[in-house]
Amino acid sequence: SRASMTIMLVYMVSDGSITPYGYAAYQGASSVPALLMPLYAGQLLTVHGYWPVALVCILLAFLGQLIFAISLSIGESFWVGVFGQLVFGAGACCVTVAQRALISSRAGDRASFAMGAVVSIACVARLMGKIGTAPLAQAVGNYKVAPYMCSLFCLMSFFAGYATWRAEVRKDELKI
């Protein structure tokens, strides 16, 4: 989502729906939660465990992205878009904390490799967001569909995470 925003700036400024300052507000809004949310997320992880917290945070990221997409589609709702970016940023930040906590607790002597793999996967996702947004906008004829695709990816991540969690629970049940 954040990766596609770079490309969307060109479209948003060219059609007059936003100024560069407004774009900076969107970008900043998704980053602000990273200042405090990791502390809160760490405590949630300790109390509730990795999977429930990660899945709720993925849903939070999905909701924020969907709010942003709707606000962009409607137009004239800049502050709703900023709110959507705040919600997205909070969810995405907590997911990152959950990923890293899971790796540090389970990877053992392979933690460095596992962390490197997660960072590489995140870089591939950013690359895909950057190179996929403009062709998608051109193919559909409207750049405002891109945030909906990002919402869809968040939702797909939720279902993949849920399936992984259930498989892990099932594996643990079979050991008993």
- pLDDT score of 87 more than 90: yes
For residue 63, pLDDT over 90 is answered with yes
Distance (Å, rounded) from C-alpha 125 to C-alpha 1?
9
Please give the model's pTM, rounded to 2 decimal places.
Answer: 0.84
d(CA 8, CA 101): 32
Q: Band the pLDDT of 176: cuts 50, 70, 90.
A: low
- The residue type of 66 is L
Specify the pLDDT at position 67: 94
> Is the per-residue pLDDT at 35 higher than 80?
yes
Give which of 57, 124, 140, 65 is closest to 92, Cα–Cα.
57
- 59 confidence band (pLDDT: 50, 70, 90): very high
Longest dimension (CA), the chain: 61
DSSP 76: S
Q: Summarize pLDDT for 90-140 with one digit per residue, the tens.
A: 998 888 888 888 888 877 788 888 888 878 877 887 777 777 777 877 888
Q: State the DSSP code for 48.
A: H
DSSP reduced 3-state for 162: helix
Q: Say if residues 7 and 133 touch (Cβ distance below 8 Å).
A: yes
Residue 80: its pLDDT value, please? 93
Burial class (CB in 10 A: 0-12, 13-18, 19+), 95: buried
| Average pLDDT for the chain | 84
